[in-house]
């Protein structure tokens, strides 16, 4: 596969345009929005680059080829002739996943068995349901399209967060919300209910120019196409020390300990200030205005939402009184709770799923 092929960057449904904007800003060539993600044409170094640098992608799929098949015998025959050796290595196990839609071959399990046998017989590739590498086959309108999941573990697992709070925001989603708030690394960010510190740490990493995938491993290292020297060049970077500072507070002392430990592991502890206090004790930091971004508790996540109206009201009052010139981004599942802040939110742009709950970003202009 020396020529360019299709690379599919999966993201949270509803966030495709935000990921596309991130990809354009990072120089990926001609990204095109597609349901559930963004597609572009590239080679293997582009696959590695996408895994390493994209903050809003969930995983990166490399589309390695396709053929038509109208019955299982045809699938079997064509799978045995497929050039697996260009991508997969003999002796390195893979897991096979099949989905079928509007096709003559409708039995996904039988199709998976044919592919597994072809891999073993033609190229000596073992099958293991726990393998680090996943080969995905999508059969749609009798077209069999093969993709390799080049990421392995989902990309929100950055590799340096051990401590998690309850109902944490995934790093990928946090990065997409920061992007939607027009954050680009040049201003302070404050989260007054910071939990395990996801927004604060993500913002600090962006400002410091750190690659999100710098601390973790990837499935593509097991592929025949992997070149360690090119990968080492891509990974090498000189992070800079940004001027803005990043602030997190929470009334839960355990959450603040977690945040500080997570920032330490991410290498941004010097840029971040974490404090234990209630919303009513929140003070505007010295220096220029920036972005307040907050993911407060909401009914579906916590249970009874009646007491939350007072919390949201107190948050809104504190921000209006003390944070003139700052923008606010608030994430919640409840329009009524957002309204309880009495902040001048702009119209929202739709909702996305987070842990099975539909949530929306509410943004203000500078207060």
Tens of pLDDT, residues 310-327:
999 999 999 999 999 999
pLDDT (0 to 100) of residue 240: 81
The mean of the pLDDT values for the chain is 94
Percent residues over pLDDT 90 in the chain: 88
CA distance 184 to 336: 30
Q: What is the pTM of this model?
A: 0.94
Mean pLDDT calculated for residue range 56-75: 96
* pLDDT tens digits, 172-222: 999 999 999 999 999 999 999 999 999 999 999 999 999 999 999 999 999
Please tell me the predicted confidence (pLDDT) of residue 355: 85
Domains of the chain plus CATH, in order, are: 5-149 (3.30.2130.30), 171-212+238-363 (3.40.50.150)
**Residue 14, exposed/middle/buried by CB under 10 A (0-12, 13-18, 19+)?**
middle
Please check the confidence at residue 300 and state whether its pLDDT lies above 60: no
Residue 303 pLDDT: 58
| pLDDT score for 167 | 64
First to last CA, the chain: 53
Cβ atoms within 10 A of the Cβ of 141, count?
Answer: 9
Task: Place 2 in a pLDDT band, splitting at 50, 70 and 90.
Answer: low
Q: Are 200 and 194 in contact (CB under 8 A)?
A: yes
């Amino acid at each position: 596969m020396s020529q360019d092929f299709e690379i599919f960057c999966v993201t949270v449904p509803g966030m495709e345009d935000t990921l596309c904007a991130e990809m354009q800003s990072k120089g990926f060539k001609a990204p095109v929005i597609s349901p559930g993600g963004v597609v572009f044409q590239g080679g293997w170094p582009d696959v590695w680059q996408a895994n390493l640098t994209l903050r809003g992608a969930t995983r990166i799929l490399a589309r390695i080829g396709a053929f038509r098949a109208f019955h299982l015998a045809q699938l079997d025959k064509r799978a045995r002739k497929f050039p697996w050796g260009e991508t997969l290595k003999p002796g390195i196990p893979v897991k096979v996943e099949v989905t079928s839609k509007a096709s003559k071959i409708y039995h996904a399990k039988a199709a998976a068995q044919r592919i597994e046998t072809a891999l073993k017989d033609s190229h000596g590739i073992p099958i293991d349901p726990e393998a680090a590498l996943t080969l995905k086959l999508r059969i749609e309108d009798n077209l069999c399209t093969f993709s390799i999941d080049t990421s392995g573990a989902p990309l929100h697992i950055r590799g340096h967060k051990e401590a998690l709070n309850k109902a944490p925001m995934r790093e990928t989603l946090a990065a997409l919300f920061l992007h939607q708030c027009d954050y680009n690394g040049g201003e302070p960010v404050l989260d007054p209910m910071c939990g395990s510190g996801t927004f604060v740490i993500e913002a600090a990493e962006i400002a410091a120019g750190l690659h999100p995938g710098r601390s973790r491993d990837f499935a593509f290292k097991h592929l025949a196409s992997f070149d360690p020297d090119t990968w080492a060049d891509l990974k090498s970077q000189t992070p800079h020390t940004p001027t803005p500072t990043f602030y997190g507070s929470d009334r839960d002392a355990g959450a603040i300990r977690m945040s500080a430990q997570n920032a330490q592991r991410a290498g941004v502890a010097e840029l971040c200030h974490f404090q234990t206090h209630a919303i009513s004790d929140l003070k505007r930091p010295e220096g220029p205005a920036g972005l307040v971004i907050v993911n407060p508790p909401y009914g579906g996540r916590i249970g009874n939402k009646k007491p939350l109206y007072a919390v949201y009201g107190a948050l809104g009052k504190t921000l209006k009184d003390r944070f003139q010139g700052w923008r606010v981004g608030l994430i919640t599942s409840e329009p009524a709770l957002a309204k309880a802040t009495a902040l001048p939110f702009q119209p929202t742009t739709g909702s996305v799923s987070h842990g099975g709950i539909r949530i929306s970003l509410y943004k203000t202009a500078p207060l």
